[in-house]
Amino acid sequence: MFDLAMPCPVLGLLPGDVVLTGDRPTGPLHLGHLAGSLAARVAGQHACPHTILVADLQALTDHAHDVARVRDAVDGILIDYAAVGLDPAKVGLVLQSDVPEISEIAMLLLNLVSLERILRNPTVKAELAQKGDNARNAGFAIYPASQAADILAFRATAVPVGRDQAPMIELAAHLADQLALRGAEVPVPRAVFPAAGAAGRLPGCDGRKASKTLGNAIALGATDAEIASAVRRMVSDPARTSRADPGDPDKPIAFAYLRAFDPDRQGLADLEAEYRRGGVGDGDVKKRAERVVRDLVGPVRERRVEAGRRLPELRDALRDGTASARGTARETLDGIRSCFGLSRRAV
């Protein structure tokens, strides 16, 4: 079994949990995804069932102008998954757009929640404010309801997210409650957060959110040269002028990467203490970060090559996982249809 050479983020999973996670296929996955969710899935996949959604419909809500990007990213994501150690025989890989039941469930769920409540969602609000009204297509605006449909469709009990995503899961839980009041029981999902001390949301090299679009992320397939260049660009504390200055290890981005990925926790703690006292240059921190990232990404990069050769097999796993997940989604849809007075679907 392939083990990631990084501290394992412990998730608050309970016996019997069904986990739903996933990614929007908008480009290659990067270290932000690894720290924020992939590593936890790899650690958790043997503890309880994981449904992993390749959320291409959700990706289209803000990539309707560039559908080729979404289409072309799907294979890369399958390769990324296999390369970090997700076992396609163990987890359920699901292509969102091949589960039509999700759209039907989403349309029905929209009748159980006010538009105001959907639009109050802080993520939607923030992203709409950032992108401006031109990007405010209706699909993007209502995506929290569509995400609730994903969660309920697959009867997930635990949805690993960042703290800022908690209202998304609250909406899904609210809708599960509404369905229960009408006689259609689906599990009420709860958000599961990264354990204290785990990396959670990893910043990009420039300190902003790590994003392929911003070009500030390190892809899982990055070469050593790309890693070196990215680490070089990592911002430090601009107020610190000499290595003798006492420093705040919360400031340099390189420390964030070390906290996420350095398997030598004692060595890292010592370095942080020394940095606080003064005597450690930001170049030293970056040198360590470069080595840690290189040691982590190197084997993943090699396994990406190997996984690329197995792509037909990975596509089969996606197809089979989707077919199996559709069975669950169909049952959920039947229950929801029945609480709306609609007949059970024959096919």
d(CA 32, CA 257): 9
Q: How far is the CB of 24 from a second copy (least distance, A)?
A: 13
Determine, following the binding rule CB under 8 A, whether residue 328 of this chain makes contact with a second copy. no
* Cα distance from N-terminal residue to C-terminal residue, the chain: 40
- Binding range to a second copy, per CB under 8 A, among 82-90, 108-116, 210-218, 253-261: 108-116
Q: Which is nearer to a second copy, 106 or 260 (CB)?
A: 106
Per CB under 8 A, the list member of 6, 18, 35, 57 interacting with a second copy is 57
Shortest reach from residue 138's CB to a second copy, in Å: 4
Q: Quick one: CA dihedral 271, 272, 276, 282, positive or negative?
A: positive
CB of 70 to a second copy, least distance (A): 6
Q: Are 151 and 332 in contact (CB under 8 A)?
A: no
**What is the residue type of 328?**
T
- The residues in 127-146 that bind a second copy, with binding defined as CB under 8 A, are 133-134, 136-142, 145-146
Residue 38 as a binder of a second copy (CB under 8 A): the answer is: no
Q: How far is the CB of 178 from a second copy (least distance, A)?
A: 9
Q: Is 340 in the site for a second copy (CB under 8 A)?
A: yes
Using the minimum distance from each CB to a second copy, give the nearer residue, 71 or 201.
Answer: 71
Closest CA to 154 of 324, 337, 14, 39: 324
Q: Is 327 in the site for a second copy (CB under 8 A)?
A: no
In the bound complex, what is the minimum distance in angstroms from residue 166's beta carbon to a second copy? 20
Q: Which is nearer to a second copy, 20 or 106 (CB)?
A: 106
**Binding range to a second copy, per CB under 8 A, among 97-105, 213-221, 249-257, 262-270:** 97-105
CB 258 within 8 A of CB 287: no
Measured from the CB atom, the residue of 305 and 323 that comes closer to a second copy is 323
Token couple for 284 = 């030293």
CB of 253 or CB of 333, closer to a second copy: 333
Note whether 275 binds a second copy by CB under 8 A.
no
C-alpha 73, offset from chain centre: 15
What is the total residue count of the chain?
A: 347
- 126 forms part of the interface with a second copy (CB under 8 A): no
State how far the Cα of 243 lies from the Cα of 93, in Å rounded to an integer: 48
Q: What is the DSSP string of 226-275?
A: HHHHHHHT----TT--STTS---TTS-HHHHHHHHH-S-HHHHHHHHHHH
285, amino acid identity: V
Closest CA to 320 of 88, 103, 83: 88
- Nearest distance from residue 71's CB to a second copy, in Å? 4
Residue 121 binds a second copy (CB under 8 A): no
Query: Side chain identity at 52, as an amino acid letter?
Result: I
62-70 contacts at long range (C-beta below 8 A, 24 or more positions apart): 62/127, 62/131, 62/135, 62/137, 62/140, 63/26, 64/137, 64/139, 69/26, 69/27, 70/25, 70/26
Structure tokens at 345: 């679907």
Nearer to a second copy among residue 121 and residue 216 (C-beta): 121
**Sites for a second copy among residues 172-231 (CB under 8 A):** 182
Q: Does 314 bind a second copy (CB under 8 A)?
A: no
Q: Do residues 123 and 168 touch, judged by C-beta distance below 8 A?
A: yes
Residue type present at position 330? R
Is 68 a binding residue for a second copy by CB under 8 A? The answer is yes
- Footprint of a second copy (CB under 8 A): 56-57, 60-61, 64, 67-68, 70-71, 97, 100-101, 103-104, 106-108, 110-116, 118, 133-134, 136-142, 145-146, 182, 337, 339-342
